[in-house]
Amino acid sequence: MRMVSQKKVVILLVIAFIIGFLFGDSSFQQRPSKSLSSDTSADVYFDNDLFWHVWSTLKENYVKQPIEDKDLFYGALKGLVMGIDDPYSVFLKPELAKKFIEDMAGSFEGVGMELGVKDGHLTVIAPLPDTPAFRAGIRSGDKIFAIDDQDTSNMGLDEAVLLIRGPKGTVVKLTIWREGETKTEDVEITRDVINIKTVSWELKENKIAYLNISHFSEDTWADFQDIAIVIIKANPQGLILDLRNNPGGYLDAAVNIAGYWTGEEVIVVSKDAQGEEKKYQANNDGDLKHIPTIVLVNQGSASASEILAGALQDYKRATILGEKTFGKGSVQELEGLNDGSALKLTVAYWYTPLGRSINEEGIIPDIEIEMTDDDYLHDRDSQLSKALLMLAGELN
């Protein structure tokens, strides 16, 4: 995620750090001068009389009174954006803007997981390591059917995040369903401060370097550069880049990191509604390209992590191992409005250097290995074990 101007931000999260914004009051009294069409079958349609009839009926007859005009106005705008049926385009009230900015700073209070929408359901993209959600056993792919007994079937991402977020020490109850289970399960999670070191590494047996990036924050690029220097000096036999359960984050960090394997190549391409393309190019020397590399991914790998994995796969700089990624390949632009609110809108899709669509398609591993329930039960990492054996030359 990076600032484009004072008013616009390019956003890669699906983040469960997703909080949107809304239009202001300044245009509240401006009504359309006439209906655009009186034919409900027309492509362009707005029935001015119908809109104001519903408005007046709510104001006069709804059982709970009074109704604030501002609430109806914001509700109408929220519904307007919902009409495009895109879970990542949102229109929310101004008070949520502050929460969004706090998220960008990298520290907040909550449970520590990224949310998205998959097959029409609120879905956990990934729990972040060593967070309340992770410790409670939440997994990538878990469907959230209710939050504190509130049904999520018609709930937007930002509303869900707002309900899950809360002060340290308080408890939120999530009703989840996991694939393969016959019933839902209630999981109570105690909120805490979420502030995570995003990059870590260790040298494993057979001189295999293991590098984990949990998500792409403000500090990720600087931390990665420091660690890359140490890895290069260690002269490892191979390198494992673990992007599992990495829900994304700052685009620039992912592009710059990819350059350590690709050199000065195009890492990702965005394409907007008019078909115009924008290419994002790395500006590095490929300092790690001589080290045999395996990238670990799973269904919790999303957005920026998919961009990184897709580029290394296209340029054949790494073997991708694990499970098909989440498929969050859309670009959101955040436009600040005059009352402190904003519109977050999907304006483009991401494509790998070879033109593969990331959105909904995801990145398919070169070697597919699924973590089983037995693996989780016995704290066994079959994907990492396979990568270690391959790089040690014990497996092909």
Mean pLDDT of 232-238: 96
The single residue of 118, 143, 328, 344 carrying the catalytic annotation is: 328
The answer to whether residue 256 sits within a structural domain is yes
318 lies in the same domain as 259: yes
**Are residue 275 and residue 241 in the same domain, yes or no?**
yes
Q: Note the pLDDT tens digit of each residue in 57-69.
A: 999 999 999 999 9
Structural domain boundaries enclosing 354:
199-331+349-391
pLDDT in the model for residue 33: 34
Catalytic residue among 103, 142, 192, 314: 314
Across residues 247-256, what is the average pLDDT?
92
Q: How far apart are CA 58 and CA 352, in angstroms?
A: 48
Residue 328 annotated to the active site: yes
| Lowest-confidence segment of 80-89, 224-233, 293-302 by average pLDDT | 80-89
Tens digits of residue pLDDT in 122-180: 999 888 888 999 999 999 899 999 999 999 988 878 789 889 988 999 999 999 999 88
Domain shared by 177 and 318, yes or no: no
Residue 39, domain member (yes or no): no
Is 86 among the residues known to form the active site? no
Cα distance between residue 175 and residue 152, in whole Å: 10
Q: Which one from 303, 305, 330, 341 is the annotated catalytic residue?
A: 303
- pLDDT value of residue 225: 97
> Is residue 254 located within the same domain as residue 183?
no
Closest CA to 318 of 307, 331, 309: 309
State which of 194, 210, 245 marks the end of a domain. 194
End-of-domain residue from the set 152, 177, 194: 194
CATH of the domain at 368: 3.90.226.10
- Is the same domain home to 160 and 232? no
Would you call 185 helix, strand, or coil by DSSP? strand
Number of domains in the chain: 2
64/61 Cα distance (integer angstroms): 9
User: Measured between alpha carbons, how far is 161 from 152 in angstroms, rounded to an integer?
Assistant: 11
Domain C-terminal end among 162, 194, 226: 194
Nearest 10 degrees: CA dihedral of 373, 374, 378, 380? Answer: -80
Note whether 179 and 264 are same-domain residues.
Answer: no
Q: Catalytic site residue 314?
A: yes
- Pair 149, 258 in one domain: no
Mark whether 211 and 318 lie in a shared domain. yes
Model pLDDT for residues 90-111, shown as the tens digit of each residue: 887 787 766 665 565 556 789 9
**Same domain assignment for residues 285 and 376:** yes
Q: Chain-centre distance of CA 251, in angstroms? A: 12
Spatial contact of 55 and 47, defined as CB atoms under 8 Å apart: no
